Amino acid sequence: DGGITQSPKYLFRKEGQNVTLSCEQNLNHDAMYWYRQDPGQGLRLIYYSQIVNDFQKGDIAEGYSVSREKKESFPLTVTSAQKNPTAFYLCASSSGQGRIYGYTFGSGTRLTVV
């Protein structure tokens, strides 16, 4: 079945360390997104990518970096510059032609700084 796979499901990081969250999709979608969700709150856009080798900052990009070397993959790096990285991170994708149907989301990665 097609879908989005995020890994790992749970991630623990020491302060000052960079960590990379994986997002892979086999839906042949053009666009991919990273959102952050804090407890009891909505989703905030970190980065998005419309096509391979291109990406744009969302509303809260500071302290994060991304790459889009392949259509299927959109990894997110949480750097040591991110002041409060503990959160639930969601990856999503949407197709160019079918974008009207919105997003397909992964199951998320819960990052905890210890």
Partner 1 sequence: DAKTTQPTSMDCAEGRAANLPCNHSTISGNEYVYWYRQIHSQGPQYIIHGLKNNETNEMASLIITEDRKSSTLILPHATLRDTAVYYCIVRVFGGFKTIFGAGTRLFVKA
Q: What is the contact mask toward partner 1 in residues 69 to 108, using x (rule: CB under 8 A)?
A: -------------------x-x-x---x--xxxxxxxxxx
Task: Examine residue 48 and tell whether it contacts partner 1 (CB under 8 A).
Answer: yes
CA distance 5 to 23: 6
Task: Examine residue 23 and tell whether it contacts partner 1 (CB under 8 A).
Answer: no
Q: Is the dihedral of CA 50, 56, 58, 64 positive or negative?
A: positive
- Residue 8: cis peptide before it, omega within 30 degrees of 0: yes
Question: In angstroms, what is the minimal distance from the CB of 25 to partner 1?
Answer: 12
- Check if the beta carbon of residue 112 is closer than 8 Å to that of residue 86: yes
Chain contacts with partner 1 (rule: CB under 8 A):
4, 31, 33, 35, 40-45, 48, 50, 56, 58-59, 88, 90, 92, 96, 99-108, 110
